[in-house]
Amino acid sequence: MIALIDYGSGNLRSVYNALCVQGGEVEILSSPAHLERADAVVLPGVGAFGDCVSQIRERGFWDPLMDWIANDRPFLGICVGYQVLFEGSEEAPGIAGMGFFKGQVRKFKTPGLKVPQIGWNRLDLSQAHALWEGLPADPYVYFVHSFYPEALEPKEVTARCHYGEIFAAAAARGRVSGVQFHPEKSQSVGLGILRNFMRQTPSSMSTLAAG
């Protein structure tokens, strides 16, 4: 079973729909009570870094999720759900992220650049990774964000993207990964990424779909 963490994020339903259509057995969790039954965790996210951190804390998810990623259990963070894996964000100075990845989340500052970046941009798949299996060589995915992670460990960056500057569009260490774009809104390419994520833990999918 995949636990989809509900902490009031706007894209919860889209992520739920996309996981289900790819054969996922998804449970939306609004408290950590049933987290231990889960095989994999998806942390969606739309909105502000600070709100995201405080909502995760308020609903009691913070410590269980910190344990989850520390134990290298399958985890996918999306958009702000990816950003919170870093140490902190310019959007919310003084509020600590989970610190799983080294680096800060920065605001796009290139003069003349429209912010937020809204639309489809190309991923540079800087590393082979399970999530990228079966994707076209130059996959386009959908981004909506004003902030981007500045990852300090190049070996953890699995995809880069260019918008004003080159940033870490995805990062992974072990079975914990995060993506800045929205796979649930990226049509065939995005659905393929979600399917790849679930394939890492076949027990997260219905038997029929996992085959």
Q: What are the residues binding other proteins (CB under 8 A)? A: 10-11, 13-14, 17-18, 21, 46-48, 114-122, 133-136, 139-140, 142-146, 162-163, 182, 184-193, 195-196, 199
Nearer to other proteins, 17 or 207 (CB): 17
Nearer to other proteins, 70 or 118 (CB): 118
* CB of 42 vs other proteins, minimal distance in Å: 15
* CB of 62 vs other proteins, minimal distance in Å: 21
Q: Kindly give, in sequence order, each residue whose CB lies less than 8 Å from that of residue 22, ignoring residues fewer than 6 positions away.
A: 191, 194, 195, 198, 205, 209
Nearer to other proteins, 142 or 152 (CB): 142
Distance CA 142, CA 87 (A): 24
Nearer to other proteins, 71 or 188 (CB): 188
Distance CA 160, CA 178 (A): 12
* CB of 90 vs other proteins, minimal distance in Å: 15
Q: Kindly give, in sequence order, each residue whose CB lies less than 8 Å from that of residue 82, ignoring residues fewer than 6 positions away.
A: 45, 149, 170, 171, 178, 179, 180
* CB of 160 vs other proteins, minimal distance in Å: 13
What three-state secondary structure class fits 168?
Answer: strand
Distance CA 194, CA 201 (A): 12
How big is the chain by its Cα radius of gyration, in Å?
A: 16
What three-state secondary structure class fits 109?
Answer: coil
Is 79 annotated as catalytic? Answer: yes
Set 79, 91, 156, 161: catalytic member: 79
Is 34 annotated as catalytic? Answer: no
Q: Give the single-character DSSP code of 90.
A: T
- Element at 83 (helix H, strand E): helix 80-83
Q: Give the single-character DSSP code of 48.
A: -
Question: Catalytic site residues?
Answer: 79, 182, 184
